[in-house]
Amino acid sequence: MKKLLLVAGLLASVHLVKAQNVQLIPKVGLNFSKQAISNIEGEQSKTGFTAGLGVNFKVKNSAFSVQPELNYVSAGTKIKNDKTKYNLNYLELPVLAKYSFGPVYINAGPAIGLAVGDVKKIESLYGAKVQKFNFGIQMGGGVAIPVGKGSVLVDARYSLGLTDVNKGPATAKNRGFMATIGYAIPF
């Protein structure tokens, strides 16, 4: 039964891909992140860099599309009392459902992130190890401005981390606002 469902799913996917237009979307921007940490007061927003690549699959004759992305996101937090920035950088893979109203669109979907880089400084803040994987939800919107054969995309979204990234007694969850600019290249 599982094999039959797998084959049916693959056939449906092939049919769906044939009924779509595809866009490749390189993008860059800023991430304004902080963490909600249960045993620490004074968390503040930290500004970081983000860059990535998305692929938008538009359903033919529809305003709906699906957009998986692979992004580098410089996240973390800043603590008011010690004026120190704590970096927790991720490779994130969001898969967004996107609905367009002409040039304006909204999007939302799940995202999974893998912590990359040196996490020792943030582990000293927590007093415990960092959870390498982070699961969350992203939601936002933007505008697609036609330029040449493609479109310039100005996108803003909120990222709500659902995973406790601290393996210790306190809880720490990522929060962030991301603003990017990209270019949708049609295929």
CATH of the domain at 121: 2.40.160.20
CB count in 10 Å sphere of residue 46: 21
* 106 in any annotated domain: yes
* 104 in any annotated domain: yes
* 172 in any annotated domain: yes
Query: What gap in Å lies between CA 151 and CA 74, rounded to an integer?
Result: 26
Render pLDDT for 35-44 as a digit per residue (tens, 0 to 9): 887 777 777 8
Query: What gap in Å lies between CA 161 and CA 175, rounded to an integer?
Result: 6
* 11 in any annotated domain: no
Render pLDDT for 138-182 as a digit per residue (tens, 0 to 9): 999 999 999 999 999 999 999 999 998 887 777 888 899 999 999
* 7 in any annotated domain: no
Query: What gap in Å lies between CA 155 and CA 158, rounded to an integer?
Result: 10
* 6 in any annotated domain: no
Residues near 34 by Cβ (< 8 Å), separated by ≥ 6? 43, 44, 45, 46, 77, 78, 175, 176
* 5 in any annotated domain: no
- Exposure of 176 in the CB half-sphere (CA atoms within 13 A): 33
* 66 in any annotated domain: yes
Q: What's the number of domains the chain is made of?
A: 1
Cα three-residue angle 186-60-179, rounded to 5 degrees: 50
Query: What gap in Å lies between CA 32 and CA 15, rounded to an integer?
Result: 39
Which domain does 94 fall in, by range?
A: 20-186
Render pLDDT for 100-137 as a digit per residue (tens, 0 to 9): 999 999 999 999 999 887 777 777 777 778 888 999 99
Query: What gap in Å lies between CA 5 and CA 185, rounded to an integer?
Result: 34
| pTM score, whole prediction | 0.82
